[in-house]
């Protein structure tokens, strides 16, 4: 088997769309300070490109989470591998994620974070695969809705590779 990547969303289109999302976020928060909460590792490029275009006071922090999953069924909780080092109580939190697929991870994470009593929690996802949704979840800011393809690049990986591509590509496997 060999792999090949074809461009699905160009670097230029990604940057243009992030500019539009940032303008919307700037307008919605109206100068109020926010905590940008990036979910490692896939969100890092989206997080940094987005943060540079925001004009309110911004704090940046990261969490690393994984959902307990036995391959077929959700076990119902999220495992926090790296937690926040600051309190989110009475703060506006904007979660930044690479892609929402089944929604399992974010659904459970939002549940957990809500108990820490933030003023608000919103979600920005660069990519959204709505057709795959198993868990109801509101995505406040979506970069692109994509079909049910496995994508890599701009933070997204396949076995930890391809994260550094500047574009979003679709990964294809071919028999040698
Ligand atoms: P969910 O809990 O099913 O929504 O899973 C979301 C996580 O799965 C994302 O944060 C990604 O890390 C990973 N993921 C889902 N779809 C893809 C994909 O097409 N390419 C790379 N990673 C993906
Ligand atoms: Mg992820």
pLDDT digits (tens, 9 = 90+) for 59-73: 999 999 987 655 545
Q: What is the mean pLDDT of residues 92-108?
A: 94
Q: Does residue 76 or residue 87 have the better pLDDT?
A: 87
Which residue puts its alpha carbon closest to atom 3 of ligand 1?
Answer: 102
Domain 10-146 is found in CATH 3.40.50.2020: yes
Question: Which atom of ligand 1 lies closest to the CA of 106?
Answer: 2
Atom of ligand 1 nearest to the CA of 105: 2
How many angstroms separate the CA atoms of 73 and 21, rounded?
34
- Residue with CA nearest ligand 1 atom 5: 101
Q: How far apart are CA 61 and CA 124, in angstroms?
A: 15
Judged by average pLDDT, the poorest of 66-75, 79-88, 89-98 is 66-75
Identify the CA nearest to 126 among candidates 32, 44, 31, 60. 44
Helix (H), strand (E) at residue 8: strand 2-9
- The pTM of the full predicted model, rounded to 2 decimals, is 0.94
Residue reference for tokens 């690479």? 98
Contact 95, 60 (CB under 8 A): no
Verify whether ligand 1 is closer than 6 Å to residue 91 (CB atom). no
Exposed / middle / buried, residue 53 (Cβ in 10 Å: 0-12, 13-18, 19+): middle
Tens of pLDDT, residue by residue over 145-159, are 999 999 999 999 999
Q: Which residues pair with 79 in a beta bridge?
A: 66
Q: Is 176 a catalytic residue?
A: no
């Amino acid at each position: 088997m060999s792999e090949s990547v074809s461009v699905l969303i160009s670097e230029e289109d990604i940057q243009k769309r992030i500019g539009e999302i940032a303008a919307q976020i700037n307008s919605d928060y109206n100068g109020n300070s926010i905590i940008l909460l990036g979910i490692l590792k896939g969100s890092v490029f989206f997080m940094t490109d987005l943060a540079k275009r925001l004009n309110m006071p911004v704090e940046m922090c990261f969490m690393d989470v994984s959902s307990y999953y036995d391959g077929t069924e959700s076990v119902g909780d999220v495992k926090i591998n790296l937690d926040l080092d600051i309190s989110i109580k009475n703060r506006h939190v904007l979660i930044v994620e690479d892609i929402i697929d089944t929604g399992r991870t974010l659904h459970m994470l939002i549940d957990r974070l809500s108990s820490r009593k933030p003023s608000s929690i919103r979600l920005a996802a660069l990519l959204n695969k709505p057709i795959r949704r198993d868990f109801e979840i509101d995505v406040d800011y979506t970069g692109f809705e994509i079909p049910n393809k496995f994508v890599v690049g701009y933070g997204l990986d396949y076995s930890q590779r391809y994260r550094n591509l500047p574009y979003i590509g679709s990964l294809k496997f071919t028999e040698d």
